[in-house]
Structure 1
Amino acid sequence: MTRATLDKQPHEVASMFDDVAANYDLTNDVLSLGQDRRWRKEVAKAVDARPAQRILDLAAGTGTSSLPFTATGAYVVPCDFSLGMLREGKRRHPWLPLTAGDATRLPFADGVFDAVTISFGLRNVQDTGQALRELYRVTKPGGRVVICEFSHPTWAPFRTVYEEYLMRALPPVARAVSSNPDAYVYLAESIQSWPDQPGLARQLQQAGWSQVAWRNLSGGIVALHRGTRPL
Structure 2
Amino acid sequence: MEVIGLILIVSGISIMCMVLYRLFIQKQIQNITISEDSSKEFLKKLEIVKRNELSKHVIAIFIISIALSMMLILITSRLYKFNYKIDYLSSQNSNLKDNLEILRKQQTKIIDQIELTPYPEKGLQIKTLEWRDLFINQEKKAQHSLEMQLSQKLAPYVGLNNILAVVNTHSATLDLTIEGNAIDKNNEAIKENIDLFVVEISEISELSQINLKLNDTKSDSHQTVYSCSYTRNDKDEDFKRTSMEN
TM-score range, shorter chain: under 0.3
Structure ID, larger Rg: 2
Higher helix share: 2
TM-score, normalised with respect to structure 2:
0.22
TM-score (norm 1): 0.23
Q: Which has the higher contact order (CA 8 A, sep 6+)?
A: 1
